[in-house]
């Protein structure tokens, strides 16, 4: 198996959360006539925004070094611990479940425990990568964080889940794609270390969406052409007019609600959003690389976590990306990774190029496609 470089964790290890700030801001500032059906959600959103800002300041500049981050690591061994913050903001909280112990009957604790295991299995069983750092990093989670906290985040060392406000959002452990999304921020922390701002930040978010959805699709045994490609499906409660936080295949269509507004994600570079908000639009413009992946996966058909997921994994762990890589650099890296593993002109290579072309980033990526697929490795070699 190819050896992949493992890096010390990036200084800015934590990310603000799976719910974008612009969505929380919309909820917090909703006019009374629009939010009449909501009793507590606007005030909860306001508290969540304040806490997220405080957490961001607290995490900014804090180095999660490899020694602390990999303490107790055993390569090839899944190690999970779930703690309960009991509505406080104190981490880690009281441990309620350890690896191998039976379910405790608390849906949040048991869902997070299962989600950690499903995400570990994706990286370990499909890509041969032990945990998030490739070295068996123990996976820790805290549930029931804060008072009706409307978010979930990776803080550089553990997963943290809120219970939601009970009107717009339910508990955040209910969505496997959310659990895996946030854990994948840890994977990026130890591999490509993409800076959380601008296009590199949007790629950071997109990679989390990609592997978050792949973990969920694999758990459901869904083929690419049959999957919903939704991130955070099940988080919205019934009164919300929406299906999820984001749609990878159709960015901009995940919700259209009188309180939350319409999903603002662009679907291609023609709609790219220049902004200083949201760390330069990291949750907004991530829709563009998201769609490139989803379009390529649907074109290939079959399990998206298999060949196409392998290409994205190779790109993230190959050591060629810089922390400030933009969309064009990442697109070129994925095309090179597809060509290296599956051959220039292979169906995977073609699908990757077409995916980026669909979102307006295909210029210069199609060189070598006319040679056909004669150089594609056979099934055995491409699995190594």
Instruction: Give the residue numbers annotated as catalytic, written as ranges.
Output: 182, 283
Q: How many helices (H) and strands (E) does the chain have?
A: 13, 9
Q: Tell which residue, 79, 97, 78, 176, has the closest CA to residue 143.
A: 97
Residue 320 token pair = 């060629």
Q: Which residue has the tokens 């959310």?
A: 178
CB of 133 closer than 8 Å to CB of 67: no
Which helix (H) or strand (E) element contains residue 257? strand 256-257
The CB-based long-range contact list for 361-369 (8 Å cut-off, 24+ gap) reads: 361/269, 361/288, 361/292, 361/327, 361/328, 361/331, 362/331, 364/332, 365/331, 365/332, 365/335, 368/339, 368/344, 369/344, 369/345
Q: Tell which residue, 257, 263, 212, has the closest CA to residue 41.
A: 257
CB of 257 closer than 8 Å to CB of 240: yes
CA-CA distance, 309 to 127, in Å (whole number)?
Answer: 9
- For the chain, report the end-to-end CA distance as a whole number of angstroms: 5
User: What are the C-alpha distances in Å from 70 to residues 9, 12, 118, 181?
Assistant: 10, 16, 20, 20
Query: How many C-beta atoms lie closer than 10 Å to residue 175's C-beta?
Result: 26
HSE at residue 335, side-chain half, CA atoms within 13 A, is 23
Phi and psi at residue 19, to the nearest 5°: -85, 120
């Amino acid at each position: 198996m190819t050896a992949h470089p493992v890096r010390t964790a990036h200084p800015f290890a934590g990310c603000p959360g799976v719910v974008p700030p612009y969505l929380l801001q919309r909820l917090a500032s909703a006019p009374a006539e629009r939010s009449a059906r909501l009793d507590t959600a606007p005030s909860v959103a306001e508290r969540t925004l304040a806490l997220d800002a405080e957490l961001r300041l607290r995490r900014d500049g804090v180095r999660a070094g490899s020694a602390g981050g990999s303490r107790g690591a055993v390569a090839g061994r899944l190690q999970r611990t779930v703690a309960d913050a009991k509505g406080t903001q104190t981490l880690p909280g009281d441990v309620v479940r350890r690896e191998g112990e039976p379910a405790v009957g608390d849906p949040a604790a048991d869902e997070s425990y299962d989600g950690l295991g499903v995400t570990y299995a994706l990286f370990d069983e499909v890509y041969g990568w032990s945990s998030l750092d490739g070295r068996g990093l123990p996976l820790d989670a805290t549930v029931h964080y804060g008072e009706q906290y409307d978010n979930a985040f990776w803080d550089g060392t553990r997963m943290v889940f809120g219970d939601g406000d009970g009107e717009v959002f339910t508990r955040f452990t209910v969505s496997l794609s959310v659990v895996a999304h946030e854990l994948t921020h840890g994977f990026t922390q130890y591999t490509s270390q993409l800076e959380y701002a601008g296009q590199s930040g949007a790629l950071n978010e997109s990679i989390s969406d990609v592997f978050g959805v792949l973990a969920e699709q694999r758990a459901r045994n869904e083929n690419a052409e049959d999957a919903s490609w939704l991130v955070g499906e099940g988080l919205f409660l019934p009164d919300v007019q929406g299906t999820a936080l984001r749609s990878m295949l159709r960015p901009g269509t995940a919700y259209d609600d009188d309180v939350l507004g319409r999903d603002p994600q662009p679907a291609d570079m023609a709609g790219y959003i220049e902004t200083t908000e949201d760390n330069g639009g990291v949750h907004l413009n991530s829709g563009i690389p998201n769609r490139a992946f989803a379009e390529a996966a649907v074109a290939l058909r079959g399990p998206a976590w298999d060949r196409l997921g392998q290409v994205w994994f190779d790109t993230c762990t190959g050591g060629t990306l810089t922390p400030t890589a933009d969309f064009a650099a990442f697109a070129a890296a994925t095309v090179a990774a597809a060509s290296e593993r599956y051959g220039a002109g292979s169906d995977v290579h073609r699908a990757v190029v077409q995916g980026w072309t669909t979102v307006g980033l295909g210029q210069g990526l199609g060189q070598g496609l006319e040679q056909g697929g004669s150089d594609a490795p056979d099934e055995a070699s491409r699995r190594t």
